[in-house]
Amino acid sequence: MSESISQKEINDAVWRACDTFRGAVDPSEYKNYILTMLFIKYLSDLWKDRREQYDKKYKGDAQRVDRAMSRERFVVPPECDFDYLYARRDAANIGELINIALERIEDANKAKLENVFRNIDFNSESALGQTKERNRRLKMVLEDFANPKLDLRPSRFGNGHLERDVIGDVYEYLIGQFAAGAGKKAGEFYTPPEVSILLAKLLQPKLGSRICDPACGSGSLLIRVAKEVPGQDFALFGQESNGSTWSLCRMNMFLHEFDNARVEWCDTLTNPKLIEDDRLMKFDIVVANPPFSLDKWGADHAAHDRYNRFWRGIPPKSKGDYAFISHMIEIALADTGKVGVIVPHGVLFRGGSEGKIRQKLIEDNLLEAVVGLPANLFFGTPIPTAILVFNRAKKTKDVLFIDASRDFLDGKNQNRLRPEDIEKIIKTHKTFKTVEKYAYRATFAEMRENDFNLNIPRYVDTFEEEEEIDIAAVQREIDQIEGELAKTRKEMAKYLKELGLS
């Protein structure tokens, strides 16, 4: 068995490829070309690995091998794999050859990859430069991924299956490297893995669950929730408005063998496409990290929404947080559905139409928990965030407030939740009891008394009393220090006199 490949080796190859594009492509767009090339490499290696296995199994019987390959879950047509492209890396039309390979791979796997590559153009002069420079860059990228260490065949892994989130791990790596340059964009389509794990564990999906992320980005959060299901019996659904990010999400699902995941390219708030019988589809679990305070989200048409999602109130034009929340609540199954959403703190206390929506959600006994998170967890924004958990099967009118803002690993660029921080939150949520300085179980009457303001400090008292100062002891310490200082000065004067420096 070959030596196992490490994530660092994959990251190193990807980083070299990023260097190839530097200066020609905006850093926030690197991921589109790099991850697509990684996808081609992975498919090619997996296809080659399967053929080698069947060739060995059927002792070189080409007909039986071809028959077995035709039953694989995907197809890599001839002259479309990475090795073919690498062998033609010096071709004058290499960008066109890559595009043709992508198109043929897509056509051969229509049910799973239709339109996935429509936003990627390896022959674009505006994106990759004029012919000579474009060809040079593409040749270097192919050479970077041809590194023998970057062999993604499953047989290189002990159990014969590549279980790691290849696209996801590299995507995380790229976002981390370019977060400063990408600004807010990075946080809009990527949820840090620790936050995804926390949200998944809070919602506890069960076997048979239909799981939806209506702002799914690259799909990392949706995949993490799926991994919490104790088995393979579940269905994944998502919606994403950014075409390039939607493509990455589809690739990500394919790499995880979630071939049946339905991910729609659409605007969730103005044109949702997860529809059944002309109604919004319903789900057991709804989870999302939507863009914070989205401006121009579609408020002008919300009053006439064909699905009547905003009957509790129409959020402000410049802040779409409660538009996403309203949509998520409406697509959660009545009596059983759960919703988990990441929000900026303003959602907890802003007034106006948001305050009225918040009040109705509490009066309808949908809100189960408010979890305050540390600041600087998300790429592109240092603000603290919170998780709102809604539960249509809630048995009590109380709401649990958890202040987890002080428990984290302080990172250079990004703070992180540690396993013990996540476990503490989950345990507290399960017990649903007040914990001094950390959590508070608030009654409906208390929230009403606070005008349905959910600002966490109103409920969780984290004030630490300062230790009482013993003035007399402090004065004695000062007197002692002054006495020692006088003695030192006297000795210093004596030494200076002896040296004639007085």
Q: Which pLDDT value is given to residue 155?
A: 67
For the chain, the straight-line distance linking the first and the last C-alpha, in angstroms and rounded, comes to 82
Alpha-carbon distance of 197 to 207, in angstroms, equals: 18
Q: Widest CA span of the chain, in angstroms?
A: 106
pLDDT for 298 equals 96
Tracing tokens 């006297």 back to the chain, one arrives at 490
Contacts 24+ apart (CB under 8 A), 391-394: 391/337, 391/338, 391/339, 391/366, 392/332, 392/333, 392/334, 392/335, 392/336, 392/337, 392/338, 392/366, 393/335, 393/336, 393/337, 393/338, 394/365, 394/366, 394/368
CB burial string 417-453: b at 16+ within 10 A, e below: beeebbebbeebbeeeeebeebbbbbeeeebeeeebb
- Quickly count: other Cβ atoms within 10 Å of residue 337's Cβ: 23
| Whether pTM exceeds 0.75 | yes
User: Comparing 7-155 with 185-458, is the CATH topology the same?
Assistant: no
Token pair belonging to 68: 């077995």
pLDDT on residue 184: 45
List C-alpha distances in Å: 404 to 407, 424, 467: 6, 9, 24
Nearest to 31 by CA among 191, 167, 221, 193: 167
Q: Using an 8 Å Cβ cutoff, are 196 and 220 in contact?
A: yes
CA angle 448/450/452 to nearest 5° reads 60
Residues 400 and 441 sit within 8 Å (Cβ to Cβ): yes
Structure tokens at 98: 């890559």
Q: Give the C-alpha separation, 68 to 209, whole Å.
A: 33
Please identify every stretch of the chain with a pLDDT value under 70, giving residue numbers as ranges: 1-4, 28, 155-168, 171-172, 175-189, 380, 463-467, 502
* CATH code of the domain made up of 185-458: 3.40.50.150
Distance CA 358, CA 379 (A): 27
Surface-to-core class of residue 231, CB atoms within 10 Å of its CB (0-12 exposed, 13-18 middle, 19+ buried): exposed
Fold for domain 7-155?
Answer: Ferritin (1.20.1260)
Kindly give the interhelix angle for 243-255 and 220-227, rounded to the nearest 10 degrees. Answer: 30
CB 218 within 8 A of CB 440: no
Nearest to 120 by CA among 144, 100, 143, 93: 100
Residues in the chain: 502
- For the CA atoms of 258, 213, 121, 297, the dihedral, rounded to the nearest 10 degrees, stands at 170
The whole-number pLDDT of residue 157 equals: 54
C-alpha–C-alpha distance, residues 282 and 338, integer Å:
11
CB atoms closer than 10 angstroms to residue 395: 9
Q: Where are the domains of the chain?
A: 7-155, 185-458, 470-502
What is the chain's alpha carbon radius of gyration, rounded to the nearest angstrom?
A: 29
